[in-house]
Structure 1
């Protein structure tokens, strides 16, 4: 899904794009996805922000609450929207996938093409006997190509936490919701929910203990574990079929990569900077990557591609290097465990009187370090022959029910 954003950006920049997809067919499973304001602004730059903005649900408050619903850190989403110029939006993953796919010319995606190695030469990149000017690695958090490019990098590190996500439909109109995130200080468990424009409610739950593997048994375990929480937690779990709940073990890169581009090869999205989903920034950062990649390659020809990708690295790597180290999985930090879903209030103006969660700090670090929006970082190359770009992707992510690779 997310590599389609980069394909759109490169196509809009006038280049010839081919997406090599490992799976035999395109599909997008999974639950909901929260798009924070910076992600909506990036989609605006790709010409796709309008439909996303139309699906923003009108709820004003978010933040962090105790498990009973009492506010620990209240945030004002309306103030955030007015400040940034974009709303927080919650979408279903299949809908977002269709929006992105519809922006691509027919024939862009070639399925059943697993790429395990790249060979870069002085004038291009060879992929399975075919030559391209630029290769974009977007094969997910467990990227094998990233490991080949940076063999000394330790790769992913598990957070020690499991996370469930789903969308509850048919929710009673009179059900009191507690938008944002509920926190149990006894166990570190969390439960978050966000209403959607179509009447559904996206929800997530996290835990560190061992849960049953069988979906119905795990469903009962989740509900019983939250029986004394705010009423919306049990009600939303009850409104969701066990088989519609997607569960993963969360992970992120153990440390930032030394570069997001090497010669004619660039990395994008989770392959470049996999992060735990508590930041609500996985998709948003991939969208910003896409906009930056399209911007630096605008006007560039095949000969200028390495210089353009060096500019992409200079734009996109610093925000992830400067993000607070306390937010990295596996490192000591104070407070409760990180979460399994984006808090819709993180990054929003906060009212005094609550505790600030460390995940909010790292998300703020990503925003503060980013500098100008990538769509404003145009290259200065004269217009040349268009660049042939191969974008390498692997379907997966939250649509998978298996643990993420280590």
Structure 2
């Protein structure tokens, strides 16, 4: 089998994970990233054990662990501070998106990532494989499928402040929720789901202090993608938000993009057509189930009636659940999703 060439359109978490994995399996890879450089600032990501295991399989797990910190258990509360339950963090690691992108880009030779280079399918006609990793508003996906990006009806807010907290937490109230997680550098990521930030002003500490310190606040509509019939077409594969953009309520977007990229590379050690069928079979159903669950959780967090019954159900679910991963979504969005 001769040297095979892959074009990865999009240099985010999923695209870079795919590039690292493909190179480890003998592919020549070019990554086309429209941004001029890797980001220097950004809020944090909660990387779960399955995503860390995927990073291990491409040789980047230890570097990712060193770039972050273990996440402590989180407490779910009511707006007055009453504890609903605890979510055990397990082996979740927190690190910033720039740190994770730096780890992945650092595993690639100089010049593999072409910054300031937008590309479409027509630009990649000479490649044996094209990976569409260009986000929720994917141009690659738009050339292949009629799959509308939908509004969830929710407004999200997020930012980073110089207010240290020992552990993450999430507070559920009438019509929305507020959460925060510590960063490895001592700062705190925060996020909120609600029509405006004023609704959180009288919620328990440290929420008012976090909001008082908030400077650069990002506001965005929370979007999700209609389920695709498949994640591949011809010799093109979609991954991450380009394939299964979901609301950030489960905090799974970055994790699933990493796993997509690694599994795609592992499936392509042999024939491309067979490998792409295998990738679709392994990743489409599981990610679409997660997207549906995330949307359900989003709607549950926004109810305005029967919140007592909702909180009771949440308390029972937290008490009975095995040690799950903490659903933090403070930075589980790419730049093009914010543009939506």
Given the two structures, how large is their TM-score scaled by the length of structure 1?
A: 0.68
- Counterparts of 2:101 and 2:22, CA distance in 1: 17
- For 2:179, what is the secondary structure of its paired residue? strand
- Which of 152, 167, 177 is matched with 1:190 structurally? 177
Q: What is the deviation of 1:249?
A: 1.1
**Can you give the 5+ residue segments of structure 1 that lack an aligned partner in the other structure?**
82-86, 119-126, 212-221, 339-351, 365-395
Partner deviation per Cα, 1:133-170 (whole Å, 9 max, x = no partner): 0000111011122122013x3x211111121222222x
Q: Aligned residue for 2:108?
A: 104
Distance across 2 between alignment mates of 1:128 and 1:278: 35
- Check 1:312–1:75 CA distance in 2 against 1; reply closer, same or farther (3 A cut): same
Partner of 2:224: 252
| Partner of residue 94, structure 1 | 98
Give the number of equivalent residue pairs.
309
Q: Distance in 2 between matches of 1:353 and 1:97?
A: 34
Report the CA distance shift for 1:294/1:73 in structure 2 as closer, same or farther (over 3 A): same
The reply to whether residue 282 of structure 1 matches residue 253 of structure 2 is yes
- Alpha-carbon spacing, 1:26–1:196, altered in 2? closer, same or farther (3 Å): closer
Q: Distance in 1 between matches of 2:205 and 2:134?
A: 39
Match of 2:76 in 1: 64
* Residue deviations 1:48-71 (CA, integer Å, cap 9, x gap): 111333422452x22422112322
Kindly indicate whether the alpha-carbon contact (under 8 Å) linking 1:248 and 1:400 is maintained by their aligned counterparts in 2: no
Q: Write out aligned runs for 1:227-376 (5 A).
A: 227-240=201-214, 242-243=215-216, 245-254=217-226, 256-298=227-269, 300=270, 304-323=271-290, 325=292, 327-328=294-295, 335-337=300-302, 354-356=315-317
Superposed displacement of residue 327, structure 1: 4.5
Give the secondary structure class of the aligned counterpart of 2:189: strand
String of CA shifts for 1:311-360, please: whole Å, max 9, x gaps.
1111111213445846447xx9973329xxxxxxxxxxxxx981549xx9
Counterpart position of 1:201: 188
1:28, CA displacement in angstroms? Answer: 5.6
Three-state SS of the structure 1 residue aligned to 2:184 is coil
Say if 2:71 and 2:94, in contact at 8 Å, map to a contact too.
Answer: no
The equivalent residue for 1:53 is: 65
Partner of 1:160: 153
Which protein is richer in helix relative to its size?
A: 2
Secondary structure in structure 1 of the residue aligned to 2:30: strand
Residues 1:42 and 2:54 are matched in the alignment: yes
1:258 Cα offset (Å): 0.6
What secondary structure sits across from 2:300 in the alignment?
Answer: coil
Please say if residues 136 and 337 of structure 2, whose CA atoms lie closer than 8 Å, have aligned partners that are also in contact. no
Conserved 8 A contact 1:31-1:92: yes
Residues in 2 aligned to 1:282 and 1:307: alpha-carbon distance in whole angstroms: 26
Relative contact order higher in (CA < 8 Å, ≥ 6 apart): 1
Give 2:129's match in structure 1, choosing from 115, 128, 134. 134
Match of 1:123 in 2: none
Offset at residue 101 of structure 1 (A)? 1.1
Aligned to 2:145: 150
Q: Which runs of 5+ in 2 are unaligned?
A: 1-11, 304-312, 326-331
Deviation at 1:43, TM superposition (A): 1.5
Quote the Cα distance in structure 2 between the aligned partners of 1:46 and 1:181: 33
The offset of 1:233, in angstroms, is 0.6
CA distance in 2, matches of 1:53, 1:326: 28
2:308 maps to what in 1? none
